[in-house]
């Protein structure tokens, strides 16, 4: 499959910051959505996205193009979000900060929704699988590649993740 | 009546996603119609999917993109790719030594001013290299030649498309018959980079 990012990636590999900025523009929303939906916090997600792009920038010279650039980037994103989650265990979340602008208020409302609460209760593997498949529209093959498991495992995770999510949403709805 | 064997969850997902061959899809539809366990699983998977697909992409908070770009560290050189700082410095040093040796040879041979004048007038590109490399630094070398983003081949192709006589020579792009200003203007849309472009205007 031809990688639509290939020309920019080739330039960015040689240290061209302008080309890398275009790649950041292309992928920032999807990466932020992935991180925000898996972490449930806009601040933590933004930190994870920043870490992802720094790792990608430094790692680009070693990127061989064996997979799509987006697959490689999302793999870094999944790992950065995972690391951010581990960090949270030692550094408690500062949730006293007020959203400073309307966009942040939108994030705050999105990430405190009933759906997000249910999503946060899923096992991390299931959460990552359903967010990649149902929210970002990645294929089974891409998810298998970036989470380093077999396609059958990806399908099981999506099926179980969705079922558990519906169960949690049903419980919440019944409670309200 | 509950059938004895249930389809695997992978097949149930493929059923929900409508990815099964028609014959198998019909078999599972028949099973689901008579099996309350599988029917509930299918219903939940479909409900979970609908809830997730109603969400939209979220935008990075204001100012974070700029912060990310501002905080990017210096890149590591690509293996076998772009020339790094040390190779540039080394090349500049070698060039400076060669030029000093050549000048010394000319002075010794001619013993007068005429040789130097004809040498300087004959090769403007070399004279420029003398002045800059003699300064001894990478910054001076960069001031003398132009640098552009992309690979040498891409830069040369770009310039050829714009009507310049550009060739790739040892990882550098050499342009003949144009002024540096003309080439700089032609490269303006490529963004910064480290492909060295040498302009020779005899």
CB A80 within 8 A of CB A9: no
Residues of chain B neighbouring A28 (CB-CB closer than 8 A): 59-60, 65
- Say what the pLDDT of residue B197 is: 86
Query: pLDDT tens digit string along B131-165?
Result: 333 333 232 333 457 888 777 887 888 888 778 88
- A85 and A5 in one domain? yes
Would the CB atoms of B51 and A166 count as touching at under 8 Å? yes
Is residue A103, in this structure, part of any structural domain at all? no
As given in the structure block, the two tokens for residue A146 are 């970036």
Question: 3-state class of B166 per DSSP?
Answer: strand
Q: How far is CA B142 from CA B69, B168, B198, in A?
A: 24, 18, 10
- A126 and A53 in one domain? no
Tell me how far apart the 2 most distant CA atoms of chain B are, in Å: 113
Query: pLDDT tens digit string along B185-195?
Result: 778 777 667 78
Among A91, A125, A152, residue at a domain's last position: A91
Rounded to a whole number, what is the distance in Å from the CA of A41 to chain B's nearest CA? 12
Is residue A76, in this structure, part of any structural domain at all? yes
Lowest mean pLDDT: which of A15-19, A61-65, A87-91, B45-49? Answer: A87-91
DSSP per residue over B52-67, as a string? HHT--PPPPPTTHHHH
As given in the structure block, the two tokens for residue B29 are 């539809």
- A81 and A132 in one domain? no
Is residue A176, in this structure, part of any structural domain at all? yes
Top-confidence residue, B124 or B196: B196
Exposed e or buried b per residue across B88-127, where buried means at least 16 C-beta atoms within 10 angstroms of its C-beta: beebbeebbeebeeebeeeeeeeeeeebeeebeeeeebee
As given in the structure block, the two tokens for residue B95 are 């060039």
Mutual angle of helices A69-90 and A17-39, in 10-degree steps:
50
Top-confidence residue, A35 or B170: A35
Is residue A45, in this structure, part of any structural domain at all? yes
Asked whether residue B83 carries a pLDDT value surpassing 50, the answer given is no
Average pLDDT score over residue span A21-49: 95
CB A12 within 8 A of CB B80: no
Would the CB atoms of B75 and A30 count as touching at under 8 Å? no
Q: How many domains does chain A have?
A: 2
- Say what the pLDDT of residue B26 is: 96
Query: ipTM, 2 decimals?
Result: 0.83
Asked whether residue A32 carries a pLDDT value surpassing 90, the answer given is yes
Distance of alpha carbon B119 from alpha carbon B141, whole angstroms: 21
As given in the structure block, the two tokens for residue A38 are 């898996």
- Say what the pLDDT of residue A91 is: 59
Kindly state whether B9 is in contact with chain A, defined as any CB-CB distance less than 8 angstroms.
yes
- A81 and A26 in one domain? yes
Domain of A53: which CATH number?
Answer: 1.10.1740.10
- Residues 90 to 149 of B: which have CB under 8 A from any A CB? 149
- A118 and A84 in one domain? no
- Say what the pLDDT of residue A106 is: 61
Residues paired with B151 in a beta bridge:
none
What's the pTM?
0.63
Average pLDDT score over residue span A149-154: 97
Length of chain A counted residue by residue: 176
Asked whether residue B87 carries a pLDDT value surpassing 60, the answer given is no
Asked whether residue B11 carries a pLDDT value surpassing 50, the answer given is yes
- Say what the pLDDT of residue A170 is: 85
- Residues 74 to 93 of A: which have CB under 8 A from any B CB? none
Kindly state whether B82 is in contact with chain A, defined as any CB-CB distance less than 8 angstroms.
yes
Would the CB atoms of B44 and A101 count as touching at under 8 Å? no
Minimum Cα–Cα distance from A151: chain B residue: B10
Asked whether residue B40 carries a pLDDT value surpassing 90, the answer given is yes
Domain that holds residue A160: 112-176
* DSSP 8-state code for residue B189: G
- A154 and A121 in one domain? yes
Residues paired with B199 in a beta bridge:
B175
- A83 and A160 in one domain? no
Distance of alpha carbon A38 from alpha carbon B49, whole angstroms: 16
- A1 and A85 in one domain? yes
pLDDT band at residue B4 under the 50/70/90 scheme = low
Is residue A96, in this structure, part of any structural domain at all? no
Lowest mean pLDDT: which of A27-31, A52-56, B76-80, B121-125? Answer: B121-125
Top-confidence residue, A7 or B80: A7
- A119 and A81 in one domain? no
Asked whether residue B183 carries a pLDDT value surpassing 60, the answer given is yes
Rounded to a whole number, what is the distance in Å from the CA of B134 to chain A's nearest CA? 27
Question: 3-state class of B151 per DSSP?
Answer: coil
- Say what the pLDDT of residue A112 is: 62
Domain of A174: which CATH number?
Answer: 1.10.10.10
pLDDT band at residue B92 under the 50/70/90 scheme = low
Query: pLDDT tens digit string along A114-146?
Result: 899 999 999 999 999 999 999 999 999 999 999
Rounded to a whole number, what is the distance in Å from the CA of B8 to chain A's nearest CA? 9
Would the CB atoms of A14 and B149 count as touching at under 8 Å? yes
- Residues 107 to 166 of A: which have CB under 8 A from any B CB? 107, 110, 115, 130-131, 134-135, 152, 155-156, 158-166
Minimum Cα–Cα distance from A119: chain B residue: B52
Kindly state whether B192 is in contact with chain A, defined as any CB-CB distance less than 8 angstroms.
yes
């Amino acid at each position: 499959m031809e990688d639509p990012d290939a020309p920019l990636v080739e330039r960015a590999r040689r240290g061209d910051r302008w080309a890398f900025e275009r790649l950041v523009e292309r992928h920032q929303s999807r990466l932020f959505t992935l991180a925000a939906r898996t972490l449930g916090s806009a601040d933590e997600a933004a930190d994870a996205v920043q870490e992802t792009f720094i790792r990608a920038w430094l790692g680009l010279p070693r990127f061989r193009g064996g997979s799509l650039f987006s697959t490689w980037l999302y793999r870094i994103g999944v790992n950065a979000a995972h690391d951010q989650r581990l960090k949270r265990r030692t550094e408690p979340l500062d949730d006293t900060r007020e959203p400073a602008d309307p966009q942040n208020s939108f994030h705050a409302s999105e990430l405190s929704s009933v759906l997000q609460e249910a999503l946060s209760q899923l096992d991390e593997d299931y959460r990552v699988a359903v967010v990649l498949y149902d929210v970002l529209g990645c294929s089974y093959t891409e998810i298998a590649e970036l989470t380093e498991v077999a396609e059958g495992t990806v399908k099981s995770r999506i099926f179980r993740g969705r079922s558990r999510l519906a169960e949690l949403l049903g419980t919440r709805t019944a409670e309200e | 009546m509950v059938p004895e064997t249930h389809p695997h969850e992978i097949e149930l997902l493929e059923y929900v996603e409508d990815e099964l061959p028609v014959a198998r899809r019909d078999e599972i539809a028949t099973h689901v119609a008579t099996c309350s366990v599988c029917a509930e699983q299918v219903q939940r998977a479909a409900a979970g999917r609908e809830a997730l697909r109603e969400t939209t992409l979220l935008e990075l908070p204001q100012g974070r993109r700029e912060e990310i770009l501002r905080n990017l560290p210096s890149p590591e050189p690509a293996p076998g790719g772009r020339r790094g700082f040390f190779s540039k410095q080394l090349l500049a040093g070698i060039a400076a030594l060669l030029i000093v040796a050549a000048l010394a040879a000319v002075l010794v041979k001619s013993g007068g001013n005429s040789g130097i004048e004809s040498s300087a007038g004959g090769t403007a590109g070399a004279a420029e290299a003398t002045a800059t490399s003699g300064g001894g630094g990478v910054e001076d070398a960069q001031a003398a030649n132009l640098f552009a983003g992309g690979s040498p081949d891409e830069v040369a192709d770009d310039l050829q498309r714009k009507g310049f006589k550009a060739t790739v020579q040892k990882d550098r792009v050499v342009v003949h018959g144009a002024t540096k200003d003309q080439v700089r203007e032609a490269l303006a849309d490529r963004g910064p980079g480290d492909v060295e472009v040498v302009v020779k205007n005899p």
